[in-house]
C-alpha cells in the first residue's frame, strides 16, 4: 500500500480507536463503556429507580422492545474481501439537512431524570459531534436555549399535536424562529402506553413538572394556564390530601417550574401548568385531516414519526410529507407490536426507493446502523444509548456514545467494502442462517 492510500484509510473509526488507545497508554479509560450491554448496566447503576423505569422501561411485557432487537438478529452482514476501498464517504442529505453520518439524535423527553439540564448537555454534544438533534416536545429546557447551545449546528423540532390548535401554531412558529430545519410530528403517542415500570412506582415525570419546558416557556400555553387559574378561583376548590408524597410532588413542581423557587412556592401556576399540560398535550382524535393542514401552517419540511403500516406510509407520501420515521417509539407505546426494522422492509417495498425513510427503535451500534441502511433506511435515529451516555458521564458521555456508534459504522463500511451511504444496500446482508 502506498503512503497516500494508507493515510486515506483513516476515518472516524480509526480516529476514535486512536484516541481511545492513546488515552489507554496514558492510563485513561473511556468515559462510557463502548459496548451497549455494559453501557446499559452502567447507566442503570447511575440512575434513580424512577429515572430508570421511565427511560429504560417499555409498554406491557416488553415484547415490542424484544422484537426490535430480534429483528436485527435475524440479519447477517456478508462482507466482501480485497475490495480495495480506502476512502469512505459517510455524508448524505436527508430532508435538506446535511449529515456528516447517517445518524440523528431521536427526540427524548424528560431527560432531566438522567442529568440536570439534560437537553442543553445533549444539544452541546450533538453540536460538538456534528449530529443533528431533534428537540423533544417533552424537553426539559426550552427549545430557544437548546438552539443557543448549538450555534449553527442542525436541529429539528418534534411536535406532539396538542388538543389546543393555537398551541400547535405557537410551537410551530417557535420551531421556525429557532432555525429548526424540519418539524417531526409524532403520531404514536396520542395517549401514553401502558408502562408497568412507571405504573408500579406511580411515577409520571410530567406530573412533577419534569419534561414540560416547551410548554411553560410558551406564550399560548401560559395564557391557557392563566385562564385555568382564573376559572378555578370561581369554583369551590377541591382540597388535595396532604401526604408526604403530595408535598414531594409539590416541591418537584415548584423546583422544575421556571422562575424563583420561593415565588413558585407561593404561586398556583406550577401546579396548574402540570395539570394543564396533562389535559392538552395531545389530541387523541388526531387524524389525517389534521395533518393535511400542516403545509399551510409552517414552511418547515414535515416528517411523520411512528409509522409502521405500509398503507399509512403511502398515505404520508400522498400527503406530500418530506420523510417518514419508521418507529414504534422504542417499544414504549404498544406491547407486542411489529419491530421497526421489520416494518421498514415492508414499507420500503410498498413505497419504492424514492421517499425518504428514517428508522429508530433498537439501534444500539454502528452495525445496526449499517443493517438498517442496507434494508432501506436513509438514516437512523439514536435513542436510549445516548441517554445512557448522559446518565453515566453527562455531555461527554453523550459525545462518546455518538462517536462510538459512528466509529463502528465507519469500520463496518471499511470491513465490508462500502464506499458511500448510497453504496450500502441489500447486497451486504442476508437472512441470518444462525438465527
Ligand atoms: C425516555 C424516552 C423518552 C422519549 N420521549 C419522546 C418524545 O418526547 N417524543 C418522541 O417523539 N419520541 C420520544 N421517545 C421515542 C424516541 O424518539 C425513539 O423513538 C426511541 O427512543 C427509539 O427506541 P430506542 O431508544 O429503544 O432505540 C422517547 C424515548 C425514550 C426512551
Q: How many CA atoms lie within 13 A of 58 on its CB side?
A: 20
CA of 152 to the centre of ligand 1 (A): 24
Q: How far apart are CA 145 and CA 135, in angstroms?
A: 11
DSSP strand pairing (302-307 vs 133-135)? unpaired
The alpha carbon of 359 and the centre of ligand 1 are apart by a number of angstroms equal to 12
Query: Could you give the CA distance from residue 61 to residue 118 in angstroms, rounded to a whole number?
Result: 28
**343 Cβ contact list (under 8 Å, min separation 6):** 307, 308, 309, 326, 328
| Atom in ligand 1 nearest the alpha carbon of residue 137 | 8
* pLDDT tens-digit map of 24-53: 999 999 999 999 999 999 999 999 999 999
Q: Which atom of ligand 1 is nearest to the CA of 305?
A: 11
Q: Cβ–Cβ contacts within 10 Å for residue 259, how many?
A: 12
Q: How confident is the model at residue 4 (pLDDT cuts 50, 70, 90)?
A: very low
pLDDT in tens, 81-98: 999 999 999 999 999 999
403 CA → ligand 1 middle, Å: 20
Please tell me the distance from the alpha carbon of residue 43 to that of residue 133, in angstroms, as a whole number.
Answer: 21
**Mean pLDDT on 422-435:** 97
| 362 Cα nearest atom in ligand 1 | 27
Angle between helices 366-374 and 384-416 (to 10 degrees): 70
Mean pLDDT of the chain: 95
Site to substitute for ligand 1 among 39, 43, 69, 108, most atoms within 8 A of C-beta: 108
* Collapsed DSSP state (helix, strand, coil) of residue 324: strand
Question: Which residues fall within 8 angstroms of residue 300, CB to CB, at 6 or more apart?
Answer: 157, 172, 175, 176, 180, 181, 182, 183
Q: What does the longest C-alpha to C-alpha distance in the chain come to?
A: 84
Residue 101 has pLDDT above 50, yes or no: yes
Q: What percent of the chain has pLDDT over 90?
A: 93
To the query of whether residue 329 is one of the catalytic residues in this protein, the response is yes
Q: What is the set of domains in the chain, with CATH numbers? A: 3-198+283-431 (3.20.20.70), 219-280 (no CATH)
Count of Cβ atoms closer than 10 Å to residue 324 Cβ: 27
pLDDT value of residue 234: 76
| Ligand 1 atom 11, closest CA | 186
Between the alpha carbon of residue 117 and those of residues 110, 123, 213, 359, 398, the distances in Å are 10, 10, 11, 27, 13
Quote the ligand 1 centre to 155 CA distance (angstroms): 16
422 pLDDT more than 50: yes
Q: How far apart are CA 138 and CA 143, in angstroms?
A: 10
Q: What is the pLDDT of residues 318-343, one digit of tens each?
A: 999 999 999 999 999 999 999 999 99
Output the ligand 1 site: residues, CB below 6 A. 54-55, 106-109, 136-138, 158, 186, 305, 327, 329-330, 332, 360-363, 383-384
Minimum-distance ligand 1 atom for the alpha carbon of 136:
8
Predicted pLDDT at 235: 72
* 335 Cα–ligand 1 center, Å: 15
Mean pLDDT of all residues in 417-429: 98
Residue 90 vs residues 80, 93, 180: alpha-carbon distances, Å:
18, 10, 23
The better pLDDT of the pair 8, 279 is held by: 279
**What secondary structure does DSSP assign to 365-396, as a single string?**
SHHHHHHHHHTT-SEEEE-HHHHHHHHHHHHH
Q: Do the Cβ atoms of 90 and 413 come closer than 8 Å? A: yes
What's the pLDDT score for residue 237? Answer: 61
Confidence of residue 7 (pLDDT cuts 50, 70, 90): very low
Q: Can you tell me the mean pLDDT for 2-30?
A: 82
β-bridge mates for residue 420, sequence order: 89
Which residue has a Cα nearest atom 14 of ligand 1? 108
Ligand 1, from 141, 330, 401: best to mutate by most atoms within 8 Å of Cβ?
A: 330
pLDDT above 60 (res 8): no
Mean pLDDT of 313-319: 98
pLDDT exceeds cutoff 60 at 2: no
Q: Tell me the C-alpha to C-alpha distance, in Å, between residue 278 and each of 54, 102, 204, 275, 402.
A: 17, 35, 10, 5, 33
Catalytic residue among 83, 290, 309, 329: 329
Mean pLDDT, to the nearest integer, of 142-156? 98
Q: Atom 21 (ligand 1): residue with closest C-alpha?
A: 383
Atom 26 in ligand 1: residue holding the nearest Cα: 330
**Is it the case that residue 5 has pLDDT exceeding 90?**
no
Where are the strands (E) in 65-132, listed by range?
75-77, 92-94, 97-99, 103-105
Measured from the Cα of 68, ligand 1's closest atom is 26
Q: 3: CA distance to ligand 1 center in Å? A: 45
Q: Which helix (H) or strand (E) holds 302?
A: strand 302-307
Neighbours of 23 (CB within 10 A): 13
Residue keyed to cell 401556576: 269
387 Cα: distance to centroid of ligand 1 (angstroms): 10
Number of C-beta neighbours around residue 42 at 10 A: 18
What pLDDT, on a 0 to 100 scale, did the predictor assign at position 242? 83
Using most ligand atoms within 8 A of CB, pick from 63, 107, 377 the residue to mutate for ligand 1.
107
Using the predicted structure, report yes or no on whether residue 164 has a pLDDT greater than 80: yes
User: What are the phi and psi torsion angles at 250 (to 5°)?
Assistant: -60, -40
Q: Torsion-angle region of residue 130: left (phi > 0), alpha (psi -120 to 50) or beta? A: left
* Look-up of cell digits 430545519: 181
pLDDT tens per residue, range 198-240: 999 999 999 999 999 999 999 999 999 999 999 988 776 666 6
The Cα–Cα gap between 66 and 185 comes to 25
CA of 150 from ligand 1 middle (Å) equals 21
SS3 per residue for 404-417: HHHHHHHHHHHHHC
Shortest-distance atom of ligand 1 to CA 138: 8
State residue 236's pLDDT score: 63
Grid cell for residue 105:
439524535
Lowest-confidence range among 7-16, 175-184, 185-194, 257-266?
A: 7-16
* Residues 266-287, mean pLDDT to the nearest whole number: 95
pLDDT in tens, 51-66: 999 999 999 999 999 9
Closest by CA to 47, choosing from 388, 398, 405, 429, is 388
Residue having the nearest C-alpha atom to atom 6 of ligand 1: 108
Query: pLDDT band for position 274 (50/70/90)?
Result: very high
Could you tell me if 351 and 373 are in contact, meaning their C-beta atoms sit under 8 angstroms apart?
Answer: no
Q: Residue of the nearest CA to atom 20 in ligand 1? A: 330
Residue 317 pLDDT greater than 90, yes or no: yes
pLDDT at 1 over 90: no
What is the C-alpha to C-alpha distance for residues 154 and 127, in angstroms, rounded to an integer?
8
Inter-CA distances, 401 with 26, 56, 256, Å: 21, 16, 28
Amino acid at each position: 500500500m502506498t503512503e497516500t492510500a494508507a493515510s486515506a484509510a483513516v476515518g472516524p473509526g480509526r480516529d476514535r480507536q486512536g484516541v481511545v488507545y492513546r488515552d489507554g497508554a496514558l492510563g485513561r479509560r473511556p468515559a462510557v463503556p463502548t459496548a451497549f450491554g455494559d453501557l446499559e448496566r452502567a447507566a442503570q447503576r447511575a440512575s434513580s429507580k424512577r429515572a430508570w423505569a421511565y427511560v429504560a422501561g417499555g409498554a406491557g411485557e416488553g415484547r415490542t422492545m424484544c422484537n426490535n432487537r430480534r429483528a436485527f438478529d435475524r440479519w447477517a452482514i456478508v462482507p466482501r474481501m480485497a475490495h480495495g476501498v480506502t476512502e469512505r464517504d459517510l455524508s448524505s442529505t436527508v430532508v435538506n439537512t446535511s449529515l456528516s453520518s447517517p445518524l440523528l439524535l431521536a427526540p427524548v423527553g424528560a431527560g432531566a431524570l438522567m442529568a440536570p439540564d439534560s437537553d442543553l448537555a445533549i444539544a452541546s454534544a450533538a453540536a460538538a459531534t456534528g449530529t443533528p438533534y431533534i428537540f423533544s416536545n417533552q424537553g426539559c429546557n426550552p427549545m430557544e436555549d437548546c438552539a443557543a447551545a448549538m450555534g449553527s449546528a442542525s436541529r429539528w423540532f418534534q411536535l406532539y399535536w396538542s388538543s389546543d390548535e393555537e398551541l400547535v401554531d405557537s410551537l410551530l412558529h417557535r420551531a421556525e424562529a429557532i432555525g429548526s430545519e424540519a418539524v417531526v410530528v409524532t403520531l404514536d403517542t396520542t395517549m401514553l402506553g401502558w408502562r408497568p415500570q412507571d405504573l408500579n412506582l406511580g411515577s409520571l415525570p410530567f406530573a412533577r413538572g419534569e419534561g414540560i419546558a416547551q410548554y411553560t416557556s410558551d406564550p399560548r400555553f401560559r395564557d391557557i394556564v392563566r385562564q385555568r387559574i382564573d376559572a378555578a378561583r370561581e369554583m369551590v376548590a377541591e382540597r388535595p390530601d396532604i401526604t408526604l408524597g403530595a408535598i414531594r410532588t409539590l416541591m418537584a413542581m415548584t423546583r422544575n417550574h421556571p422562575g424563583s423557587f420561593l415565588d413558585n412556592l407561593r404561586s398556583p401556576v406550577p401546579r396548574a401548568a402540570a395539570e394543564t399540560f396533562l389535559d392538552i398535550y395531545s389530541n387523541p382524535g388526531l387524524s389525517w385531516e389534521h395533518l393535511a393542514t400542516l403545509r399551510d401552517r409552517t414552511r418547515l419540511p414535515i416528517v411523520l414519526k411512528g409509522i409502521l403500516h405500509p398503507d399509512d406510509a403511502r398515505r404520508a407520501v400522498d400527503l406530500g410529507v418530506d420523510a417518514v420515521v419508521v418507529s414504534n417509539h422504542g417499544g414504549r407505546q404498544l406491547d407486542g407490536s411489529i419491530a421497526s426494522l421489520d416494518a421498514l422492509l415492508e414499507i420500503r417495498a410498498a413505497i419504492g426507493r424514492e421517499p425518504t425513510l428514517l428508522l429508530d427503535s433498537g439501534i444500539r451500534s454502528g452495525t445496526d446502523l449499517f443493517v438498517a441502511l442496507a434494508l432501506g433506511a436513509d438514516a437512523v435515529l439514536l435513542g436510549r444509548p445516548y441517554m445512557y451516555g448522559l446518565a453515566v458521564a453527562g455531555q461527554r458521555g453523550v459525545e462518546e456514545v455518538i462517536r462510538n456508534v459512528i466509529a463502528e459504522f465507519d469500520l463496518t463500511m471499511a470491513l465490508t467494502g462500502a464506499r458511500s451511504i448510497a453504496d450500502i444496500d441489500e447486497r451486504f446482508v442476508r437472512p441470518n442462517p444462525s438465527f
